[in-house]
Amino acid sequence: MRQEEALAWDKLAVFLLRPTVGLFVGRFQPLHRGHLEAIKDLMKKVDELVIVIGSSQYSHTLENPFTAGERVKMVRLALAETGIDAGRCYIIPVADVNVHNIWVAHVVAHTPRFDVVFTNEPLTRRLFIEAGFKVKPIKFHDRGRCSATNIRERMLKGKSWEALVPKSVAKFIKQINGAERLRELQV
């Protein structure tokens, strides 16, 4: 067998045997138990998961209080708390481009190859489908309480929010005085 043929076989084998990779996009402001349950669920369906931290450029607003770096840390802490193998996940901040028709290309450029996109967000779904990707829905966990909007509102009002996020994430948010930051941003 000549070298070229060997190379072609090698490429085919790589293609057939390559792992299934999923993409999961969230803003994680902050990461909550619903996000973590979804990630745990997806880890059963794919070999590797690319977790995109969307709107990465924003922080210090009522909608986006935490920096991309803080959110990277939250995801890592949650994975570790749950015992998910860090080597099977990528955690990648991706900035909004505010021009929807190039957003998918922008995500693709910042992430390792992926096979399937998991999202319930209508625009994300639409854009990936128009670009030819396979898109699947996510099973939500206790959606009424476990929403980042609800958690930020509870932080603003001084209500308890700790039980709605993984323990290590709650501890981290307290270390960086996250709830206090949110309250100070409110006029």
Smallest gap from Cβ 70 to a second copy, in A, equals 7
Pick the closer one to a second copy by CB: 163 or 185.
185
Pick the closer one to a second copy by CB: 11 or 157.
11
Residue 121's nearest CA partner among 148, 88, 84, 89 is 148
Pick the closer one to a second copy by CB: 111 or 145.
111
- Both tokens assigned to 49: 């998961």
Smallest gap from Cβ 10 to a second copy, in A, equals 8
- Both tokens assigned to 56: 């990465």
* Pairwise CA distance, residues 103 & 113, whole Å: 16
Pick the closer one to a second copy by CB: 40 or 125.
125
* Pairwise CA distance, residues 62 & 153, whole Å: 9
Which chain residues interact with a second copy by CB under 8 A?
A: 7, 11, 14, 56-61, 67-70, 72-73, 76, 79-80, 85-87, 90-93, 95, 97, 99-102, 104-106, 108-113, 122-123, 125-127, 174-175, 181, 184-187
Pick the closer one to a second copy by CB: 111 or 147.
111
Burial class (CB in 10 A: 0-12, 13-18, 19+), 187: exposed
Pick the closer one to a second copy by CB: 1 or 109.
109
Q: Is the CB of residue 151 less than 8 Å from the CB of residue 179?
A: no
Smallest gap from Cβ 5 to a second copy, in A, equals 15
Beta-bridge partners for 134: 116
Smallest gap from Cβ 86 to a second copy, in A, equals 4
Smallest gap from Cβ 17 to a second copy, in A, equals 12
Smallest gap from Cβ 142 to a second copy, in A, equals 20
* Pairwise CA distance, residues 54 & 98, whole Å: 12
**Extended beta strands in 97-153, E state:** 116-118, 134-136
Residue 89, phi then psi, degrees to nearest 5: -125, 145
